[in-house]
Chain A
Amino acid sequence: MTQLSPESLNQIKRLDLRARMIVRGFLQGLHHSPFHGFSVQFSEHRRYHRGDDPKLIDWLVYAKTDKYYVKRFEAETNLTGYLVMDLSGSMGFKHTQPMTKFEYAICLAASLCYLMTMQQDPVGLITFADRVQANLPARSRRGHFADVLGHLSRMTPAGETDLGGCLTRVATMLRHTSLVMLFSDLLGDPAETLAGLARLRHGGHDVIVFHVLDQAEIDFPFVGAVELEDPETGERFQIDAGGYRDEYLSEVERFREAYREGCGKLQVDYVPLSTEMPFDKALTEYLINRQSRF
């Protein structure tokens, strides 16, 4: 487990190696494959209605019964995944941890990308800060994994964020129902963010929110008088950190609770993470949790 901790993985520079390490370590820790849910299974036949794709007509049934039937499946043949990365300046924060929130998110995204690519599922990449910046369409070919990793490794977090707006825009961009994996610290207006998520859900997308926070953001380990500076807005103010800690912790808790509740209502998977957590543990906990719901 220790070799999959952010500290140890940070020594490996190549992102594909990191992803492989994470996934292998994670697969070794599993007893059952978690991927059955993504496989293609025949479900039923139903009568063809106008507007159905004629490609789906089962001609064999037509030959036997002279009626148009279409095949229905358990899932779509291929689960299209989109890694949606928050590139705002706040993601570049780290306090005492070896990785910034963004680096942690990249590792995690690369791992998931590797997993899906191994499964022949197409994976796309969308990055955003105050607006949607890069858009790598979903492909399932082998070389695409390298493209995604190349993109990820070139990115640096900067600028402000408009999480709600960007999510709405992503929702409009995705034409097929997809698995949207959002990596963000969600430091924006929760109402807008939840509205964006609702918009995605409304488009039929399956959404997983990886809420990445630095351990310092969770613990607020500062003491004495400190001057805090917001990396996105450059705003500064002085506080007595020691005396403020209780307030802060309760605020953070309330903030995460708001997301947990909002996501629960939208049937969005909410995964709170801190940058000190080992990757395999983060992945395993989440995936086991998800599998239990299918």
Chain B
Amino acid sequence: MTFLNASLLLGLLAAAIPVVVHLMSRREPRRIVFPATRFVKQRLESSRSRLRIRRWWLLALRILALVALAIALARPTIASSLTPDWIAAGLLAVLGVALLATAGWAGFREQQRGLARVLAAAAALSLIAALLTAGASAARGPEIVPTEDAPAAIAIVLDNSIRTTRLATGDGATELRSDEPDGSRVIDQMREHARWVIGRYPSDSRIAILDRSPRPAAFSLDLAAANRQLDRSEPQALTRPLAERIEAAIRLVRSSDLSRKRVLVISDLTAASFPPSEWENANLAALLDQDPPLRLQILDVGSPPVGNLRLGLPEIADVTPARQTPTAISIRLDAEGFAEPEDAPLPAGSAPAPPTAIVEMRIHATGEAAAGLPVIRDSEIVLPPLLGADRTTVEVGPGATRVLLSVPPLDIGTHHGSIRILGGDELSIDDERFFTLQVRPATSVLVVASDRESAEWIGSALTAPRPPDDPLAEYRIEISEWLPTQREDYRVHDAILLIDPAVPSPATVADLRAYLDEGGKLISLLGPSLGGGTSGEVIPVAAPVGESTGSDDWLDGLVRRWRPAAPGSFFEIDRPNHPAVASLTDIAGGVPWSAFRISQYWQLRPSPPRDTVVIRYAGSDHPALVDRGGNHLLLTTPMPALVGPARGWNELFTASDAWPAFLLIRQMVQSLVDRDQGSHNLLITDLPRIRLDTPDSAEVDINAAIDSSQERSTVGQAARPDPTVGNPTDSELSLQMFPPRGAVAPLRGRDSWVTVGNVDWPGTYWIRGERSLTGFSVNLPPSQTELRRLDPARLDEWIGPERYDLSSDRESLRRTEGSDQPTRALYGWWLLVMSGAFAIEQVIANRFYRGSHSGRATPVRGAK
């Protein structure tokens, strides 16, 4: 049993009042001279004992009435599960009182004194049993959570995912843009509900507002602080798992010493908030089951989608296109909540038919129009103007539609753009996606091959679709039969590609070693020229096992030429995320490597950790492509293997459709010379690590731009990068980042790399140093904006139907509030006991019936 107003138990002291009155009334009886004492005398003895008993009864009843009133006002409550125990205790108590009354009645009669004693003993036993039962029930029962006006510890978890920027469904809601402050967003509804919940609790309650930001869970100081926290809870693009936040809320609430505890989750119940991977492993059920058990309340403020268009991630054919080369961007367009076309005619008020969407691509201007931008001007960030680049109209089907857009030829530099759907819908955040393209200066590649035909073949594969000698091509190809003789001549090339190299002289090995140590890149496509005409012959120059010429030898670990059994082996990608093969593994349906047979190759013994095996030969553990130290890629079979002795080693380029080999060689070179320089197209969950353009490669002269913008800028000083670390040649760089939302943030880079920590909103992030201007694009994963509703059956599965209440409106929420612990209030019963005791006391004391006695005592009137 628990008393909800335990302080009112002090009222039990009032039980002393009848005792005091009893003791005081015993003193100094009034003396009255009264002649008719003979009537008193006759039954004096029997009446005296009866009177005594009655006085004790009166005293007991008065005490009982006051005690029952005090207990009733203290609002005793028991757990429903213990109701039978308490009923048993109550029945025993009633039986005891009844036996006591009978004993008292029997005590009036002389001859029944013995019976009276037996009855009194039975009554005492019964009362003791009642007390013991009640005590045992009170000790065994769970702690009762008080209701309504008792202070409570409440944690409100707002599921403020990015989807809460969606317009709340209502009259004409879909016509409004969500960025209008009209209070019709889902997040506003959530706040409203949370405020209502907070308002229903007394002011001494402890309230914690948790949302899906990583802010630590803590109780607010007071109700006002909780409301302020609610105001600060904006939709988050980068969210913590909801299950984790609920767990934090439960732990926080449990830490409170208040006995009334609540955890309320306000969510739109979209499936994206409840990914099975998070929820299947959540230990919410165990947390909720701890003693005392908590019951989760979930308030559903969401609704099924009524028409939302969603853009997927832009798929860019080449994120580093060649200068003045157009690129294609493909983007997926999903329609959610629209009616199937064949469902027509539709009844009024149902989902609208899928519309026609206009998808537009815009790119921020560069060059003169964007000189000095972005900059802070009049306290506002001024970005380079957006120019329309492509636009297409799409008939949106009920499922996914693919939209193809074309990026116009671009100059060297970093180009940011966005693709958006024109016109609003219920969730606007997924109507725009961002991308960043980098057009870099041509990379110098030296292709060394004994036969010029092979070299030209590889060269044109690299520069496709432009011819190898085109100045606009991505690569500046130089073909030679020999490696340079002077060590300094190596340096002018960004990469050297060796096609079927012969056994190098030690001086050449040393030169290559030095070239690699200075940051050069090397690709070796091994072939028959290394010697060993027959399979199994150990090559003479490369180190035999145990006799290495040096562990850093570029051909270290070669064992022998190897001929796999007919019809030959084929490639098997071992590390799909290696940049050299990443784009190949992304290809839908995979690459049919088994169609490209390898009939001869060099067996290589890799020596980790220097060597990373990227591709193996199927059916063996022999490596095919080895990444040796990050700057040297070693392919143990030759390419293109079209002519000469190499012909017949493999079918990589001789097969009818040689696109995988074409892509592989391009990707190998591209990954090695790092034209991607880390991706500039990121998801919001990624940690951006951006390589800055080196001053000599950036064609945009940032210094000049700053100088010209300073005169116009009112806050030029703030726009200028930190002058203390102004020298871009220092390893430490001082930069500024212009995020799509919020204030300009200073950044520190090191060794031309900068890591950005505070990316929390999709958009284009501009990074500006003294000499460089770069940036990156951040997109939301498309799954985050799926408005598909969660099937409530999944909640039963993950949490357990007995551990949570799902409400969809305030009324049902209020109903579920009290249901977390079935209790039974004994207020009424104790009031009944009090009234009963009072009524019996009145009857015994003859208070109500005095008047009729006096009437009867007038005999003459009665004789009429």
Instruction: Tell me the A residues contacting B by CB distance below 8 Å.
Output: 89-91, 93, 185, 187, 213-214, 216-219, 221-222, 224-232, 235-240, 242-249, 251-253, 255-256, 272-274, 277, 282, 285
Q: Chain A nearest CB: distance from B853 CB in Å?
A: 6
Q: Chain A nearest CB: distance from B851 CB in Å?
A: 11
CA–CA, A139 and B860, complex, Å: 33
Evaluate contact between B35 and A93: CB separation under 8 angstroms: yes
Q: Chain A nearest CB: distance from B28 CB in Å?
A: 8
CA–CA, A228 and B33, complex, Å: 6
Provide 28 A-B residue pairs closer than 8 Å at the C-beta atoms, listed in order of the A residue: A89-B35, A187-B35, A214-B35, A217-B34, A217-B36, A218-B857, A219-B854, A222-B30, A224-B25, A225-B25, A225-B30, A226-B31, A226-B32, A228-B33, A228-B40, A230-B34, A231-B33, A232-B35, A237-B40, A237-B44, A239-B51, A245-B850, A246-B853, A249-B856, A251-B42, A253-B857, A273-B860, A274-B860
Contact partner, B858, options A216, A224, A246, A274, Cβ 8 Å: A274
Interface size class of B (residues with CB under 8 A): 20 to 34
Evaluate contact between A90 and B44: CB separation under 8 angstroms: no
Instruction: Tell me the B residues contacting A by CB distance below 8 Å.
Output: 25-26, 29-44, 47-48, 51, 54-55, 845-846, 850, 853-854, 856-860, 863
Contacts of B854 in A (CB 8 A): 219, 221
Contacts of A222 in B (CB 8 A): 30, 32
The 9 A-B pairs of least Cβ separation, nearest first, read: A90-B35, A251-B39, A225-B29, A217-B36, A227-B31, A230-B37, A228-B34, A218-B857, A227-B29
CA–CA, A218 and B855, complex, Å: 10
Evaluate contact between B35 and A185: CB separation under 8 angstroms: yes
Contact partner, B33, options A93, A218, A224, A244, Cβ 8 Å: A93
Evaluate contact between B36 and A187: CB separation under 8 angstroms: yes
Contact partner, A244, options B26, B40, B853, B863, Cβ 8 Å: B40
CA–CA, A214 and B33, complex, Å: 13
Contacts of B42 in A (CB 8 A): 251
Evaluate contact between A93 and B55: CB separation under 8 angstroms: no
Contacts of B857 in A (CB 8 A): 218-219, 249, 252-253
CA–CA, A187 and B41, complex, Å: 13
Contact partner, B35, options A231, A237, A272, Cβ 8 Å: A231
CA–CA, A231 and B42, complex, Å: 17
Which of B32, B44, B857 has most A Cβ within 10 Å? Answer: B857
Evaluate contact between A225 and B860: CB separation under 8 angstroms: no
Evaluate contact between A228 and B39: CB separation under 8 angstroms: no
Residue of B whose beta carbon sits closest to that of A239: B40
CA–CA, A217 and B38, complex, Å: 11
Contacts of A240 in B (CB 8 A): 51, 55
Q: Are A229 and B41 CB-contacts (below 8 A) given A247-B47, A285-B860? A: no
Residue of B whose beta carbon sits closest to that of A236: B31
CA–CA, A71 and B438, complex, Å: 166
Evaluate contact between B32 and A244: CB separation under 8 angstroms: no
Residue of B whose beta carbon sits closest to that of A190: B38
Q: Are A237 and B41 CB-contacts (below 8 A) given A243-B55, A252-B36? A: yes
CA–CA, A219 and B855, complex, Å: 9
CA–CA, A132 and B610, complex, Å: 148
Residue of B whose beta carbon sits closest to that of A90: B35
Q: A222-B30, A229-B31 are in contact. List 10 more A-B contacts (CB 8 A).
A: A91-B35, A226-B30, A229-B32, A230-B34, A239-B47, A246-B846, A248-B39, A249-B856, A274-B858, A274-B860
Q: Are A252 and B39 CB-contacts (below 8 A) given A226-B30, A226-B32, A244-B51? A: yes
Evaluate contact between B30 and A224: CB separation under 8 angstroms: yes
CA–CA, A230 and B854, complex, Å: 23
Q: Chain A nearest CB: distance from B40 CB in Å?
A: 6
Contacts of A256 in B (CB 8 A): 859
Q: Chain A nearest CB: distance from B91 CB in Å?
A: 31
Q: Chain A nearest CB: distance from B502 CB in Å?
A: 132
Q: Are A245 and B846 CB-contacts (below 8 A) given A252-B857, A272-B860? A: yes
Evaluate contact between B47 and A244: CB separation under 8 angstroms: yes
CA–CA, A282 and B863, complex, Å: 12
Q: Chain B nearest CB: distance from A249 CB in Å?
A: 6
Contacts of A228 in B (CB 8 A): 32-34, 37, 40
Q: Chain B nearest CB: distance from A193 CB in Å?
A: 12
Residue of B whose beta carbon sits closest to that of A232: B35
Residue of B whose beta carbon sits closest to that of A101: B35
Contacts of A217 in B (CB 8 A): 34-36
Contacts of A225 in B (CB 8 A): 25-26, 29-30
Contact partner, A229, options B34, B47, B860, B863, Cβ 8 Å: B34
Q: Chain A nearest CB: distance from B23 CB in Å?
A: 12
Residue of A whose beta carbon sits closest to that of B845: A242
Contacts of A226 in B (CB 8 A): 29-32
Q: Chain B nearest CB: distance from A100 CB in Å?
A: 10
Q: Chain B nearest CB: distance from A285 CB in Å?
A: 7
Contacts of A239 in B (CB 8 A): 40, 44, 47-48, 51
